[in-house]
Structure 1
């Protein structure tokens, strides 16, 4: 039996990012989804009840570094005040989705 980690490929890691600022109602989730596609990241993004946006991302350390940099920029009408990066368990994930 192949484990979930093995199916992700060698060298892949996961992170959970919590982005705070003016990040809801400005297209941030679509911005994150576009960045994930550009850097070949799998995972998801969603709004949180506290006004933050949260994204779970899986990729190589280099891909995640590029994704993190893009998350810190944010979309044109957004204002990112902080990005918290947390190590996360590596889970099976195909593609990248926006959770509602």
Structure 2
């Protein structure tokens, strides 16, 4: 299977609710590498790399909102040229 990279933008109640923590936890569980970061407009941006089946699972988890107190109101994702990362983490 080929590794891919996806760029994800999420809007809603996604800052201050543990969204980055739960995103990181899900990514590591699925062997996804990359990063998650809060954006100045209140959204969250994610760059994630991995195998197609795991990326699809990860995308679904993000769409469904991994944070118990969060709420995703808008979700977009685009595949971008492959990027290699050593692990998945939070970017500040």
Q: Structure 1 residue runs of 4+, over 4 Å off? A: none
Larger Rg: 1
Aligned-pair CA distance for 1:92: 2.0
- Using the alignment, how far apart are the partners of 2:56 and 2:46 within structure 1? 14
Which residue does 1:86 correspond to in 2? 78
State the TM-score, normalized to the length of structure 1. 0.87
Which runs of no fewer than 5 residues in structure 1 stay unpaired? Answer: 1-9
Mapped contact 2:49–2:84 kept (Cα < 8 A): no
Which residue does 1:31 correspond to in 2? 22
Larger strand proportion of the pair: 2
Aligned-pair CA distance for 1:72: 1.3
Superposed CA RMSD in Å reads 0.9
- Using the alignment, how far apart are the partners of 2:56 and 2:26 within structure 1? 12
Figure out how many residues of one structure are paired with residues of the other and give that number: 91
Which runs of no fewer than 5 residues in structure 2 stay unpaired? Answer: none
